[in-house]
């Protein structure tokens, strides 16, 4: 403070300001008004009351209270932490025991014949879904029907597809080893070839086996060549992504369809063939009814599973 002939300053308070702070709390302010050395209380123009002793007593008292508060809050915090930890451990143990008890109960319910029967029912429903558009209990007939739907409708497209599939050893072997596929090929003259590709053709591919050699070729032919213009648009867009480009270029089925499929006459744009609206309406109605029936069976099975719980 400046105290000379030009100025005589008084200290009202010390304020502690830490680096980077945006506000000051009360604990950072020390009141100096009762400190006679820097301020003091004026009682007259000549004589003043010495309040330094009083100020020092106040500071001592304040520091004692702060120390007591710090000790109390530390003890309180430790106590609450201990109480919380005890509650957490007890609750966790209870929840684990409740879970184990429930799980053991469910295991008991699903043990033995019950679990086996439930599994078999689920498998039956899955098989039914796979055959949703085909007659039941007619496996060999269905296999013939699937190959007929793949190879026969639209004579030009059928021959083009067979020519493409026979280019590669894996799909050739699958066709040659299938008695039903060979029967369809050998007896193709029996079929009317002026037909629209079946509306559920994607389901036919699925039922044939999407992971079989022929199934994977058929899936990419359907994706890229059935509507050639739209297929190329989707392919170009997908390959703009690095990850999409890597997926396509590393997939031998996709690359073979791209490199060789569109060069075979009759293998492109077969989905654009005119379809009779009445036939479409009948087929859509039939498919809707089948889907509703399967959905009802799944709902009933879910209800039975819930009752077991």
Residue 284: the pLDDT is 79
The pTM of this model reads 0.45
Task: Note the pLDDT of residue 125.
Answer: 61
Residue 293: band (very low, low, confident or very high) from pLDDT cuts 50, 70, 90: confident
Tally of CA atoms within 13 A in the half-sphere of 301 that contains its CB: 16
pLDDT average, residue stretch 10-26: 82
Across the chain, mean pLDDT equals: 78
pLDDT of residue 109: 55
The pLDDT assigned to 49 comes to: 64
pLDDT tens-digit series, residues 255-285: 998 988 888 888 888 765 545 556 667 777 8
Q: What pLDDT does residue 207 have?
A: 63
8 - beta bridge partners? 3
Q: Is 73 exposed, middle or buried (0-12, 13-18, 19+ CB in 10 A)?
A: exposed
Residues in the chain: 309
Gap between the Cα atoms of 132 and 124, Å rounded: 12
C-alpha distances (whole Å) from 151 to each of 53, 154, 165, 192 are 110, 8, 11, 12
Domain range list for the chain:
1-50, 53-100, 127-308
Higher pLDDT, 203 or 1: 1
pLDDT at 81 over 70: yes
Q: Is the pLDDT of residue 110 over 60?
A: no
Give the tens place of pLDDT for each residue, 197-243. 666 666 666 666 667 888 888 888 888 888 888 888 888 888 888 88
Residue 109 or residue 191, greater confidence: 191
What's the rounded mean pLDDT across residues 176-202?
77
Tell me the DSSP string of 282-297. Answer: HHHHHHHHHHHHHHHH
- Tokens representing 9? 């300053």
Instruction: Indicate the burial class of 199 (C-beta count within 10 angstroms; 0-12, 13-18, 19 or more).
Output: middle
């Amino acid at each position: 403070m400046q105290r000379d002939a030009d100025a005589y300053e008084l200290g009202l308070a010390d304020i502690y300001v830490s680096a980077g702070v945006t506000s000051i709390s009360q604990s950072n302010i020390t009141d100096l008004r009762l400190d006679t050395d820097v301020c003091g209380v004026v009682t007259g123009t000549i004589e003043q009351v010495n309040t330094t002793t009083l100020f020092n007593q106040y500071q001592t008292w304040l520091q004692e209270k702060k120390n007591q508060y710090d000790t109390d809050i530390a003890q309180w915090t430790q106590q609450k932490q201990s109480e919380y930890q005890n509650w957490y451990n007890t609750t966790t143990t209870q929840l684990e025991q409740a879970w184990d008890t429930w799980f053991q109960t469910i295991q008991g319910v699903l043990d033995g014949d019950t679990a086996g029967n439930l599994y078999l029912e689920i498998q039956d429903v899955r098989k039914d879904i796979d055959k949703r558009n085909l007659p039941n209990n007619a496996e060999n007939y269905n296999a013939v029907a699937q190959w007929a739907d793949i190879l026969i409708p639209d004579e030009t497209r059928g021959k083009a597809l067979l020519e493409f599939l026979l280019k590669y050893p894996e799909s050739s072997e699958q066709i040659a080893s299938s008695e039903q596929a060979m029967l369809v090929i050998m007896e193709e003259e029996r079929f009317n070839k002026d037909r629209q590709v079946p509306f559920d053709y994607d389901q036919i591919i699925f039922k044939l086996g999407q992971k079989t050699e022929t199934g994977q070729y058929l899936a990419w032919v359907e994706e890229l060549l059935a509507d050639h213009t739209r297929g190329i648009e989707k392919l170009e867009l997908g390959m703009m992504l690095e990850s999409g480009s890597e997926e396509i270029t590393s997939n031998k089925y996709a690359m073979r369809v791209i490199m060789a499929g569109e060069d075979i006459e009759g293998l492109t744009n077969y989905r654009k063939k005119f379809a009779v609206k009445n036939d479409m309406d009948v087929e859509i109605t039939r498919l809707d009814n089948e889907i509703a029936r399967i959905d009802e069976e799944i709902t009933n099975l879910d209800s039975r599973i819930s009752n077991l719980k």
